[in-house]
Amino acid sequence: MPEQSVDSQLSRRRFLSLTSAAAATLGIAPLAGNATGSFAENSPSSDDYYAKLGVEKIINAAGTYTYLTAACMPPQVQRAVAQAALHPVRLKDLQIASGEYLAKKLRCEAAVVTSGASAALTLATAACVASANGVSPQEIPENVGKMKNEVVVQKAHRYEYDHAMLLCGVRITEVVTLEDYKRALGPNVVMTNFFNSAEGGPDGAQIDRETWLSVAHEHGVPCHNDAAADMPPIENLWKYTGMGFDLVCFSGGKGIRGPQNAGLLLGKKHLIDLAVANNNPNSDAVGRGMKVAKEQLVGMVAAVDWLLEQSDEKNQAEYMRQTEIIVNAVKDVPTMRTRVFMPPIANHVPHLLLTYDPSVVGLTPHQVQGQLRAQKPSIELNPATGSNSRGFPSDENTIVIATWMLQPGEAEIVGRSLKAALTKNRS
């Protein structure tokens, strides 16, 4: 049958040229012949999309700020993410299994990986609305105005993440005194929100964590605690659920050093189940747009595993060592006074405060901040630099630096750059 063999030869040739043309169009190496069946590695330079896109890399001497992409993942977390990228799975299976694994590791009844602490707060709110009203995800937020829909919050705990709750169609009721609080816990209340790091703050928060919790529970109302930035210490990951908070959220990409678009919602099983019901991949749900891809789900779990192998003491000692490198570089600048400040709760790591007289040095902290940002490599100082905002004991004559996001060798660069900026304008 010669015809047939010519035919099959032809189609085989056509197939080969088609696949290589398609591969060329897609810019990928052909899969055939790759023994592992995984995508072939591109050369490192063609993988450098920061370079390709012309996006400048920075030295992060500021801290785990969202606008600076927060933390970098440790190598073992990066490897787990890369491994997860190689195969599809059923998203639900991964969500459930990762939640169960994390609940065990973090000593709570249940857990779900969310697309960040902010998404965790939205899902916590949806869960509490669903629990109080017995409604399905489709009704949130559209019909929430017609049901029990109040969230009680201390006035001093109102913050920029209130939006995450309001997405569910709830209303926020503010309280100041304990009497206000007891009065506010009426039949329409579905949840309370506590801003963990605002406890006992200078802005007049009157009700402490334990009182807040026990009064809510006397009224049968579940409590969410936003502890997004409140690790270290590591034990905080189980401290607040252990105290009895029904739900607690953490950011995955801050101190935990997981993917930036991941976070944790930890707490009571019946509420976590409802949070999951209001989450993707379900489409008709408030959490549909808060998807965590398989890579980030795995990355979040791997980051927790990594973190549980760490020691707070060793990490803090390393942050202090880097802080001292910078202190040594600038301590002889005229009028310079150096202090280390450790915020008691959120971002509980050493922050270096460099206070000096700009009229002697010739440059204000804001000007130094601008110079370091403009130089190569570009350095970002803490945003409290040159002001007394954000809970730091800083002022217009103070530079603020956090060393915990610095990579090896960068403390030396920050020290040298500061020294150069602070000495060059003097005659």
Ligand X SMILES: *Cc1c(COP(=O)(O)O)cnc(C)c1O
> Which residue among 101, 139, 158, 161 contacts ligand X (CB under 6 A)?
161
Please state the closest distance from residue 194 (CB atom) to ligand X, in A. 11
Please state the closest distance from residue 209 (CB atom) to ligand X, in A. 15
**Phi-psi bin for 178: left (phi > 0), alpha (psi -120 to 50), beta?**
alpha
Q: Is 296 in the site for ligand X (CB under 6 A)?
A: no
Q: Is 199 in the site for ligand X (CB under 6 A)?
A: no
Q: Is 226 in the site for ligand X (CB under 6 A)?
A: yes
Please state the closest distance from residue 89 (CB atom) to ligand X, in A. 24
Please state the closest distance from residue 118 (CB atom) to ligand X, in A. 3
Complex with ligand X: residue 278 or 417, whichever CB lies closer: 278
Complex with ligand X: residue 68 or 243, whichever CB lies closer: 68
Phi, psi values for residue 113, rounded to 5°: -80, 125
Residues near 16 by Cβ (< 8 Å), separated by ≥ 6?
A: none
Q: 99, 110 in Cβ contact below 8 A?
A: yes
Question: By CB under 6 A, what part of segment 342-401 binds ligand X?
Answer: none
Residue 427 to residues 337, 361, 375, 422: CA-CA distances in angstroms?
A: 21, 10, 22, 12
Element (H, E) at 33: none
CA–CA separation, 286 and 276 (whole Å): 11
Please state the closest distance from residue 396 (CB atom) to ligand X, in A. 25
Complex with ligand X: residue 263 or 358, whichever CB lies closer: 263
Q: 64, 229 in Cβ contact below 8 A?
A: yes
Q: Tell me the site size for ligand X, rule CB under 6 A.
A: 11
Query: Which range touches ligand X (CB under 6 A), out of 9-17, 94-102, 144-152, 222-230?
Result: 222-230
CA–CA separation, 107 and 221 (whole Å): 22
Complex with ligand X: residue 264 or 363, whichever CB lies closer: 264
Question: By CB under 6 A, what part of segment 47-66 binds ligand X?
Answer: 66
Query: Which range touches ligand X (CB under 6 A), out of 113-121, 207-215, 282-290, 367-375?
Result: 113-121
**Burial status of residue 241 (CB atoms within 10 A of its CB: 0-12, 13-18, 19 or more):** buried
Query: Which range touches ligand X (CB under 6 A), out of 31-39, 146-154, 226-234, 354-362?
Result: 226-234
- Give, to the nearest 10 degrees, the angle between helix 312-330 and helix 410-423: 30
Complex with ligand X: residue 86 or 342, whichever CB lies closer: 342
Strands (E), 29-159: 58-61, 110-114, 150-154
Q: Is 228 in the site for ligand X (CB under 6 A)?
A: yes
Phi, psi values for residue 265, rounded to 5°: -115, 120
Q: Which residue has the tokens 């801290």?
A: 63
CA–CA separation, 272 and 290 (whole Å): 16
Torsion of CA 196, 201, 206, 208, to 10 degrees: 40
Query: Taking CB under 6 A as the rule, which mask of x and - marks residues 252-291 in contact with ligand X?
Result: -x---------x----------------------------
Please state the closest distance from residue 261 (CB atom) to ligand X, in A. 8
Q: Is 116 in the site for ligand X (CB under 6 A)?
A: yes
Please state the closest distance from residue 174 (CB atom) to ligand X, in A. 18
Q: Which residues bind to ligand X, rule: CB under 6 A?
A: 66, 116-118, 161, 226, 228-229, 251, 253, 263
